[in-house]
Structure 1
Amino acid sequence: MKYCWLICIIFLPFFSIAQSNYKPGYIIKTTGDTLKGFINQKEWSRSPITVAFKSDEKETSLEYGPQQIAGFAVNGVKYISYTGRYSIDKNQPPELHGELDTSSIEGSIFLKEISTGRFVTLYSQSDNTKERFFIKESQTKPVELKFHQYYNDNNSIISKSLYRTKLGVLVFKYASASNKSQLLKKLESIEFNETKLNSFIQNINQLDKNEVKRRVSTTLFAGLGINRGSTFFDGYYKDRFAPSNSISPRISAGFDLYNNPFVKQLILRGEIGFSYLKADMRKSTYPYYTFNQYTASIIPQIIYNFYNTEKLRVYLGGGAGFNFSKYTNNKYSEGRNNLQVYDNYFKLEPVWMSFPLQTGAFIRDKYEISVVYILPTAYTKYSNFSISTETLGLNVRYSFGK
């Protein structure tokens, strides 16, 4: 546990840093002029209400809302300002009304561009009420795609998929003759979500698959490391063995899945690791207990970059390790003059769990250095005592991709 406190103390000062993530971008003034600079791009799980912009990295930023600018773009993501009516009914269970609700309000909001092409652009917007989608034809104002759901008297969900009617008009207007009948058939069951609507709009725009830009939201990595493991008996056992300390190598590989591939603040990591441990616990000279442990681990983790810049990202993370071990040299030896050796004296579990905590840094999105602390973890099932290992490790990883 002392290592855990050490890691926290070392990186505690970083928490005092006011976080920002300024990336090259631009704002579009209401006059149509474009002003280049830097925009504070965040992990927007909801649509931004305002955006922080500065024309130079050393300047103080200014906040702009959809009333003050016509739009903005950062890291390839574009937003436009919209002023008009938009729906405010809940349309996803369980927060549905007992009758059809078509209420709307007048306001100004930012719309995020999802897909664009020759004829139609698809936008999305979300807040604490719902997720909305808008479509915009050339030289026209965005129009919301309406979708309502409510409970009837029998507590069954009634759906009003008005968006399909609007999409049908676009199919007749813009779809190619060879694709029109197929799109109309697909329209009968198209779901109200970004993935399905995006694909449908791309078909209307007659986009070739090679024209559709893919955002890289997953990267692969491989790494090497070194572990210092301290193995000990925890609880009551007749022999007071001294802890055994060993240093051994580790290799790993896996993938990082980004919640937002442009900001890269929240990461879901899947990792496979292979490690080795050699334990030799003694009570003076005799008796002594030894074993070698070879472990393959599957480790899902959550990583959060609390210091996040273009060149350096510093993070904290944690997860759970599902470990599969094989043991050799599992021997208990006693008797100085009349040596007795017992094979497999203790039953060591082949499957067990561990809980790693780590902190580290990404350097230019290619290189990663991390320190990992694995809480004391038992791989025995005895009632009065356990054999456990506490681990401190240093890892270096290389990411394939940006």
Structure 2
Amino acid sequence: MKKSPKWVMLSILLPFISFAQSNFKPGYLVDLKNDTVKGYIDYREWKQNPRSFNFKTNPNSTVQKLTASNTQAFGIASLEYFERAVVSISAGNVEVGSLAVGVDTARVTDTVFLRTVTTGKGVSLYYLTDNIKTRFYIKDVKDGRLKELDYFVYLDADDNSSVKTIYAYRTQLLAFAYTYQPDNKSLVQRIQSAGYSETELKAIANTINGGSNTQFLHDKLSAVRFFAGAGITANKLTFSGENGPFPDGTSRSHTAPEFSAGADLILNKNTQKVVFRAELMAAANHYNFNLSTPGAFIINSSLDVKQLNISVIPQFIYNVYSTPGVKAFLGAGVAFNFAFYNDYHYLTMYSDGQVVNEKKYAQFDKMWYSFPLKAGVLLNNKLEIFGSYWLSSPILSNTNYAAHVIAYKAGINFLFGK
């Protein structure tokens, strides 16, 4: 059975996918006896606060899976720090499509790992997110009490289409401001309009602490890098339909160099697992059709089309395997193609010697869409080697006939600026 090229390409990386990925970085844990153990922690892009984490004391030791039942705290050096805490957790949703009628004050008590945002001489700020919502907790350093900063969104009981909000966290923060910064009027004004976001709450906590804080997380996890590269593209243009310029299934192929440049948005520069890419690609294609049919009424048909294709390609890239020196990735996206053509003609020679010259026939699209699939490796975060398959995409379509293009590409990109 003949395999589809896209499955052949993807199968190259399947052995990598079968292995559980790891991203061990220097870190430490604090056990329930308050003893600190240095080692390596498998750092992940935790969308929610982790319930467990993998730890090993040295690069070659056995991996241990630890939880809040046997760990007081753990940290990844210079990245993130988590503390075990027994907290009361609000259960009310804040998404508009899932709001309750009236204030949902339901709470549950759980033992969790809170991510430390900032600490200081007055207050410490923590972060907790799960499949319901994101919450922030604040601790008064003097008495050690830890409380959720309350934020409620609900539907009005008298008018179910009216959304109401209770900014209780502002009142809670004002109490700390009056205690630790009683003369700071600008802080009071800032709290009175503060949004429920890490950026704003962290800045307020730092001001309450008088600017003397310990940071446990980089201010910006995301990063932007740029790239430029070159490669080769093999395209195949195929006509279909019975009433077109050529018989159904007639095709021509062309191989040409291509050039690209663009930028990557890395959601977490420490794990580099998910990347959103914007790419600009250019290639010149040439399709020369010349079809002879001896003995028929039409004895020769020819078409010589040159196409400059500029593609704008937003795409999603996922690293399926990662080590400090080598990353293997899969990618997919959509290409918005803008095509520029030469002054081509369709020539028809008849058996009686007559030649008919039809300008700009067939009428190819000046803008068309295609869907590229990509796989490759990234070496030392600098050199990217890839191959891609562009699914069959229409470049011409009318009621009588159509034309489609598929493409195979391979190339190298040089990355810089991360």
* Bigger Cα displacement from structure 2, 313-322 vs 58-67: 58-67
* Bigger Cα displacement from structure 2, 25-34 vs 219-228: 25-34
In the alignment, what sits opposite 1:159?
Answer: 165
1:122 CA displacement: 2.2
Partner of 1:187: helix, strand, or coil?
helix
1:119 CA displacement: 4.3
1:96-107 map, 5 Å? 96-107=99-110
1:20-169 map, 5 Å? 20-74=22-76, 76-92=78-94, 93-117=96-120, 119-138=122-141, 140-154=144-158, 155=160, 156-169=162-175
Q: Deviations over 1:245-282 (max 9, x none)?
A: 21212222222223332222122222122222111122
* Bigger Cα displacement from structure 2, 352-361 vs 129-138: 129-138
1:351 CA displacement: 1.2
1:330 CA displacement: 1.9
In the alignment, what sits opposite 2:328?
Answer: 314
Which amino acid is 1:169 matched to? A
Partner of 2:128: helix, strand, or coil?
strand
How far apart, CA to CA, are the structure 2 residues paired with 1:141 and 1:297? 57
Root mean square deviation of aligned Cα = 2.6
1:193-212 map, 5 Å? 193-205=197-209, 207=211
Partner of 2:148: helix, strand, or coil?
strand
1:205 CA displacement: 4.3
Q: 1:189 to 1:289 in 2, by over 3 A?
A: same
Q: Could you tell me which runs of 5 or more consecutive residues in structure 2 were left unpaired when the two chains were aligned.
A: 294-299
- Give the TM-score normalised by the residue count of structure 2: 0.86
User: What is the percent sequence identity of the aligned residues?
Assistant: 29
How far apart, CA to CA, are the structure 2 residues paired with 1:31 and 1:165? 37
In the alignment, what sits opposite 2:297?
Answer: none
Which amino acid is 2:383 matched to? Y
Please point out which of 11, 20, 31 is paired with 1:9: 11
Which amino acid is 1:151 matched to? L
Please point out which of 330, 342, 345 is paired with 1:331: 345
Indicate if the aligned counterparts of 2:80 and 2:115 stay in contact, CA closer than 8 A.
Answer: yes
In the alignment, what sits opposite 2:220?
Answer: 214
In the alignment, what sits opposite 2:246?
Answer: 239
Matched, 1:263 2:263: no
Aligned length in residues: 398
Indicate if the aligned counterparts of 1:265 and 1:304 stay in contact, CA closer than 8 A.
Answer: yes
1:345 CA displacement: 1.8
Partner of 2:10: helix, strand, or coil?
helix
- Give the TM-score normalised by the residue count of structure 1: 0.89
Which amino acid is 1:81 matched to? E
How far apart, CA to CA, are the structure 2 residues paired with 1:304 and 1:87? 33
Q: 1:290 to 1:32 in 2, by over 3 A?
A: same
Which amino acid is 2:332 matched to? G
How far apart, CA to CA, are the structure 2 residues paired with 1:216 and 1:65? 27
In the alignment, what sits opposite 1:357?
Answer: 373
Q: 1:207 to 1:216 in 2, by over 3 A?
A: farther
